[in-house]
């Protein structure tokens, strides 16, 4: 059963924009929620367990509410959408941030994780588990929340992607991260990019703008904190996308500008 912490009665429907960030109890998602709240949004801190959101909600303040949503569980997604509809009546921004780098031993180094995700060596069970969240879960979330996004005057869908998913970059032998392009994580982001483009084409004549945005190589629990950028730095492009501040002609961007598909 989906739950929202706090009460929607404190925010009369229509007074403030509402943003849902999945996987927002920590890392980039939490920072994005914090920054959108500072800009006047009601932010829904999406998390698989309500208790996981308590610290983030306390830090962000009165504009934040925890929302139970497990993007790998269709029933959880539907229940979350019903809860948001009942409490807020619409959704202005959906940030599909929840994601997995792998589904194996959490004590492995980043190099070991990427090394085990190669096309010839990857476990198909691990591929399926990661794709259930990174690909199918993202599309399922969009489909379930689409009616609420249609209720907003101008809505945005931001799919958190990665340069690791760029076919053009990885086809270049000079791309420094090319060796990590595997079928577990990297290609899951390629698939997410394709979904982003398909959604953008389908929704191009509506009130909903869709784009993929990469935070860059950010140090988070996703990569065992081996990234080179802080969560504050990593959140900037995601926040820009959520606010509609990126170039409207660009559907896939990184921290410093457009990324090639």
The H or E element containing residue 160 is strand 155-160
Q: Which pair of tokens denotes residue 217?
A: 């190589």
| Catalytic residue chosen out of the listed positions 49, 78, 85, 189 | 189
Residues 6+ apart with CB under 8 A from 212: 158, 159, 160, 161, 192, 193, 196, 251, 252, 253
Residue 189 bears catalytic tag:
yes
CB 253 within 8 A of CB 246: yes
Coil, helix or strand at residue 259: coil
CB-CB neighbours of 90 under 10 Å: 18
Tell me if residue 78 is catalytic.
no
Question: What sign does the CA torsion over 121, 127, 130, 136 have?
Answer: positive
Q: CA angle, 72 as apex, 243 and 75 as ends, to 5°?
A: 95
- Contacts of residue 74, defined as CB under 8 A and 6 or more positions apart, other chains included, come to 140
Cβ(101)–Cβ(185) below 8 Å: yes
Q: What are phi and psi of 185, to 5 degrees?
A: -95, -55
Catalytic residues: 185, 189
């Amino acid at each position: 059963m989906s739950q929202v912490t706090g009460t929607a009665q404190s925010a009369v429907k229509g007074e403030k924009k509402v943003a849902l960030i999945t996987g927002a109890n920590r890392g980039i998602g939490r920072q994005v929620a914090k920054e959108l709240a500072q800009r006047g949004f009601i932010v829904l801190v999406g998390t698989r367990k309500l208790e996981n959101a308590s610290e983030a909600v306390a830090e962000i303040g009165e504009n934040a509410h925890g929302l139970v949503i497990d993007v790998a569980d269709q029933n959880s997604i539907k229940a979350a959408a019903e809860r948001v509809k009942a409490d807020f009546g619409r959704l202005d921004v959906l940030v599909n941030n929840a994601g997995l780098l792998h589904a194996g031993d959490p004590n492995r180094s980043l190099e070991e994780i990427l090394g085990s995700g190669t096309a010839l060596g990857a476990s198909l069970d691990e591929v399926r588990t990661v794709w259930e969240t990174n690909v199918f879960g993202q599309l399922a979330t969009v489909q379930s929340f689409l009616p609420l996004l249609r209720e907003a005057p101008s809505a945005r869908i931001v799919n958190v992607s990665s340069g690791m998913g760029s076919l053009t970059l990885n086809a270049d032998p000079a791309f420094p991260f090319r060796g990590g392009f595997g079928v577990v994580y990297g290609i899951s982001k390629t698939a997410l990019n394709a979904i982003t483009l398909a959604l953008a084409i389908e929704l191009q004549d509506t009130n909903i703008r869709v784009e993929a945005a990469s935070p860059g190589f950010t140090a988070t629990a996703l990569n065992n904190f081996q990234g080179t950028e802080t969560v504050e730095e990593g959140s900037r492009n995601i926040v820009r996308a959520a606010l509609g501040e990126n170039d409207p002609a660009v559907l896939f961007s990184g921290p410093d500008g457009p990324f090639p598909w």
